Amino acid sequence: MSSSVALITVEDIARAYDFGSSHPLRPERVLLTYDRIRELRLTERDNVREVAARVATDEEIISVHDPEFVACVKELDAGLRSRSEGLAFGLGTPDDPLFEGMHRASAAVSGASVVAAEQIVSGAVEHAFNPAGGLHHARAREASGFCIYNDPAVAIAALLQDDPRRRVMYVDVDVHHGDGVQWIFYDEPRVATVSLHQSGRYLYPGTGFEDEIGEGAGSGTSLNIPLAPYTSGEDYLWALEALVVPAAQAFRPDVLVTQLGADTHYGDPLANLGLTMSAYPPMARLLHDVAHRFCRGRWLATGGGGYQFDTVVPRVWAIHFAEMCGAAEAVPAGWLEDLPSEDVSRSHRSELERSVEQVLSACTPSLEAAASLSTA
């Protein structure tokens, strides 16, 4: 299934995007992911190449971010603005503290996702993975939720710039709602955003409910399934397939973009879902299948959240990359043996069935119309 795969490497920048030792987002997650991937010898496979990233240009970043916001990031870096001026753009908060080289590090993460997009649209590879990416909370004019620039959105904008008739499906499996990507493309019919996440009633950012379906020309192209705390891996996987496959059938995307947050794991310190490690191989298989069934194999994957930085996160991302490479068998069985000492999951299947039915009923006609419009 996977004739060619790129691992986008941004090792120096992974260290540079660092909010400090007391911040939960640890850059070591990315470096350890590279280590796990190499330990599995995935980069030695004939169908895998490592591709060095570059820094995104101002034009690429401004394609989804307000120029005044970008100017503020750069001027704070240069000492030309006060901390209070940064707060107006979400900069200098406990979630997004200021750090030296902030603009360049953030632009490098976005550049890595743009390089992944370039690799795919050029035909150099079918799949590309940027584990440093997935900073999905940044909004057009605001840093938010550990995210300064929104690299998935920058990459999606690059895909649309390359071919204005292209349709992109963005699937976000982070425990937190993919709000920044949703709002940036909320009125864009060429982008369908799909997010499964712990409900905003209990978790940041407090959004991502079933009635958030897009607006204007993009009405019906935003799909959200909020999950109750302690939702089991079995229920999660059911909902993911029940939502994503029919949505892809209706929308007929040209490229699949995924945000692969690993904070859905039951042990994550910042959230409360009930997935164990055994849920991630079938999750990866499902996304891989969607890429080949509906997108001619074109799959751009990014990292995302996950705060067990030295244990769970690198393994989850290596599991996804192994699936991308067609080498799922390389994952050690021991990685999947992490059952908790007590039951941490609950079944919410009836609630999920109602949510999926509600969202598909509201969105399927619009997804079909968007697909017809861009291919007319």
What burial class does residue 56 get, using C-beta atoms within 10 Å of its C-beta: 0-12 exposed, 13-18 middle, 19+ buried? buried
Q: How far apart are CA 127 and CA 116, in angstroms?
A: 8
Sequence-ordered alpha helix ranges (H) in 54-136:
58-62, 67-77, 83-87, 102-121
Q: How far apart are CA 180 and CA 195, in angstroms?
A: 11
Catalytic residue annotation: 137
Residue-wise DSSP of 26-77: -THHHHHHHHHHHHTTGGGSTTEEEEE--PPPHHHHHTTS-HHHHHHHHHHH
Strand order in the sheet with 255-259: 48-52, 5-9, 127-130, 299-302, 255-259, 168-172, 191-198, 222-227
Q: Say which DSSP state 22 is in.
A: T
